[in-house]
């Protein structure tokens, strides 16, 4: 299959670069070839590469910075995916796109299903929701994976930050009252490959939103504890704090566990437990 992927250098893009090739003919586009804040270039690029499938692994992901750069975040997270979806619809090709648990307000106490009520509390969450809605409006032939707490051995993320701060010997105070599912970008990549395979088979039942996170749940503090345990680091001064002791420009959902049942039912992808995923990721550092 001829596939055009926007964004290779990020966490998910790096996973796709390793997992997708095989029998596919894949082209990855990054800056400076494409600047997704200028969405008018998108349709020309899709016309030029004439793919049978477009995947958008790129996004504006600086959650706190988005509070002061709402227009830039909206251009990359909503206008560019809208342009991709419009172009895909005209060319009759499907689009795989990614979104976030931050489309939810975090007031639930059971896992969010794909059709749960969305109410993002941050600029980032609102721009990602606008992107989802634009993609769905422009083409029925879309797959949107909502994921959460993404990390990898490549790129910037919570895992890397914990290991760096620990190596500096500084005490660590980590939030213990936000609950979610840490997700290894490679496992999201594997779910994405299952979607590509299903599209290649011509399946019509695979469109729409899928929740895709590693299974199980923890807090950021629990995630940090497990990181140090798996990495064999027992010298860290680590303690739990409430969210109110660590104010951030963008509010985070208190609870953002996603129900991934549709992913299993439709694509037969069973997402591994987050602790198993963390061990596989740390082994690659």
Residue ranges in contact with ligand NAP by CB under 6 A: 7, 9-13, 30-31, 34-37, 57-61, 76, 98, 100, 128, 147-150, 155, 185
**Catalytic annotation, pick one of 60, 124, 151, 255:** 124
CB of 156 vs ligand NAP, minimal distance in Å: 7
246 is catalytic: no
Neighbours of 140 (CB within 10 A): 12
CB of 237 vs ligand NAP, minimal distance in Å: 25
Of 125 and 272, nearer to ligand NAP (C-beta) is 125
Token pair 């010298």 is found at 235
Distances (CA, A) of 74 to 36, 81, 120, 134: 10, 10, 14, 11
Of 32 and 169, nearer to ligand NAP (C-beta) is 32
Burial of 83 (0-12, 13-18, 19+ CB in 10 A): buried
**Distance of alpha carbon 223 from alpha carbon 160, whole angstroms:** 12
Cβ-contact 121, 106 below 8 angstroms: yes
**Distance of alpha carbon 99 from alpha carbon 101, whole angstroms:** 7
Of 37 and 113, nearer to ligand NAP (C-beta) is 37
Of 156 and 265, nearer to ligand NAP (C-beta) is 156
CB of 147 vs ligand NAP, minimal distance in Å: 5
CB of 234 vs ligand NAP, minimal distance in Å: 27
**201-207: long-range contacts at Cβ-Cβ below 8 A with a sequence spacing of 24 or more?**
205/266, 206/143, 206/266, 206/267, 207/94, 207/140, 207/141, 207/142, 207/143
CB of 50 vs ligand NAP, minimal distance in Å: 20
Tell me the Ramachandran region of residue 149: left when phi exceeds 0, alpha when psi lies from -120 to 50, beta otherwise. Answer: left
Q: Both tokens of residue 264?
A: 């299993």
Of 7 and 272, nearer to ligand NAP (C-beta) is 7
Residues noted as catalytic: 124
């Amino acid at each position: 299959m001829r596939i055009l992927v926007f964004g290779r250098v990020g966490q998910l893009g790096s996973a796709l670069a390793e997992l997708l090739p095989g029998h596919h003919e894949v082209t990855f586009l990054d800056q400076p070839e494409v600047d997704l804040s200028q969405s008018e270039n998108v349709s020309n690029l899709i016309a030029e590469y004439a793919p049978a499938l477009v995947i958008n692994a790129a996004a504006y992901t600086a959650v706190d910075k988005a509070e002061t750069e709402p227009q830039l975040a909206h251009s990359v997270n909503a206008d560019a995916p809208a342009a991709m979806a419009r172009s895909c619809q005209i060319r009759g090709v499907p689009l795989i796109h990614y979104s976030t648990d931050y489309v939810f307000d975090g007031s639930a106490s059971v896992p969010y299903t794909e059709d749960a009520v969305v109410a993002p509390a941050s600029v980032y969450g609102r721009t990602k929701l606008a992107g989802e809605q634009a993609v769905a409006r422009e083409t029925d032939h879309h797959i949107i994976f909502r994921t959460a707490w993404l990390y990898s051995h490549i790129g910037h993320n919570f895992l890397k930050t914990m290991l760096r701060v620990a190596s500096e010997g500084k005490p660590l105070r980590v939030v213990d009252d936000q609950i979610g599912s840490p997700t290894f970008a490679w496992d999201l990549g594997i779910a994405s490959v299952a979607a590509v395979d299903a599209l290649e088979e011509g399946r019509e039942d695979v469109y729409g939103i899928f929740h895709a996170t590693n299974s199980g749940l923890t807090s950021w503090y629990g995630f940090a504890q497990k990181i140090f345990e798996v990495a064999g680091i027992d010298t860290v001064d680590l303690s739990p704090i409430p969210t109110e002791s660590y104010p951030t420009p963008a509010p985070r959902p208190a609870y953002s566990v996603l129900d991934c049942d549709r992913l299993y039912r439709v694509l037969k992808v069973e997402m591994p437990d987050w602790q198993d995923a963390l061990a596989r990721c740390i082994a690659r550092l």
